[in-house]
Structure 1
Amino acid sequence: MTALATEQVTGRQLVNAELFNRLADFCAEEYGMERSVAERVMDEGLAFLDVMGRTGESLSPSKVVDPAWHTFMLHSTEYTEWCLSRYGRYIHHAPNSRYRDKAAMVDVVGKIRAAGYAVDESLWGTTADCNEPACCGDGPCC
């Protein structure tokens, strides 16, 4: 019996390579991240946005992933066109950090994973290690 491999998609596949690189460069510079970390953050942020766009649900990103959304929104022409062409509407950012506890992040990660995306749990505060803010910052797990 052969198991079928399910190919997971990544957030970076949702935009062209040139735009992804511009976003990752901006995110790294603006938020003081190593370029490799900024790439991971942008990848997770794009997957997160796609889940919200497709489901219409209002979700909160982790504190670590939130800069991806800010970065994309600051590229307003590209962000607006992306939202409108994919979902027929603009995805507004209405910050509400009180929903960043570990349980909320586990739920968000589950929705992203259920949509077929690979998830970097270290950016969501859902790994066994304690990660701010979902775990040590304002969550009950530490």
Structure 2
Amino acid sequence: MSDISKPITQTDPRKVCSKAFFERIAARLVKEHPTFDVELAERITEQGFAYLYTAARTEVLLSPSPLVDLAWHAMILHTREYADWCDTYAGHFVHHVPEDRAVDRAEAAEVRNRTVQAIMGQGFAVDDALWPALSAECNQCHAGCHDSPK
């Protein structure tokens, strides 16, 4: 019996990276964040690859959530694998661009919503717990960084 809640065309984020690269990123997250269990680290890694794959395919500014940004940071540490991933899946190097200016709540919410919609538009499921709504204390666009659309 099939699960009708899942679209047939849903994209598996583990299919847009090598198994070894995925496992290295998840393992690094567990190592660097002792409160993360393997399951959470794998969820963050899945969303990280879904985000990066999506961001590489649009000219629109997207930004990861703070948790998803941790996966991107871990990817970047593995410079050769990250560069190879960019060549294979993006066709160009995807730069990580910190946002130094303060971003108001409305703008941050709009970027978050645009990012989540773009990820879903690529066929990926969005893990809502890893893309929380913005809190009253939010003063930057998610983690304060975004992709370079060029």
TM-score category (smaller protein): 0.7 to 0.9
Which residue identity does 1:114 align to in structure 2? Answer: G
Q: Which residue of 2 aligns with 1:53?
A: 56
Shift of residue 50, structure 1, vs aligned partner: 0.5
Q: Are the counterparts in 2 of residues 31 and 67 from structure 1 also a CA contact under 8 Å? A: no
Q: Which residue of 2 aligns with 1:104?
A: 111
Q: How does 1:115-126 map to 2 (within 5 A)?
A: 115-126=122-133
Shift of residue 67, structure 1, vs aligned partner: 0.3
Shift of residue 136, structure 1, vs aligned partner: 4.1
Runs of 4+ in 1 over 6 A off after TM superposition: none
Partner Cα separation in structure 2 for residue 49 and residue 56 of structure 1:
13
Using structure 2 for the length normalisation, give the TM-score: 0.76
RMSD over aligned CA atoms reads 2.2
Gaps of 5+ in 1: 127-133
Q: How does 1:62-81 map to 2 (within 5 A)?
A: 62-81=65-84
Partner Cα separation in structure 2 for residue 7 and residue 14 of structure 1:
14
Deviations 1:28-64 (A, max 9, x none): 1113322111101110010100011112433210111
Question: Does residue 28 in structure 1 map to residue 35 in structure 2?
Answer: no
Deviations 1:67-123 (A, max 9, x none): 010000001100001101222210000012755833321221011001110110110
Identity rate, percent: 33
Q: Which residue of 2 aligns with 1:130?
A: none
Gaps of 5+ in 2: 140-150
Aligned length: 130
Partner Cα separation in structure 1 for residue 136 and residue 14 of structure 2:
29
Using structure 1 for the length normalisation, give the TM-score: 0.80
Q: Are the counterparts in 2 of residues 47 and 117 from structure 1 also a CA contact under 8 Å? A: yes
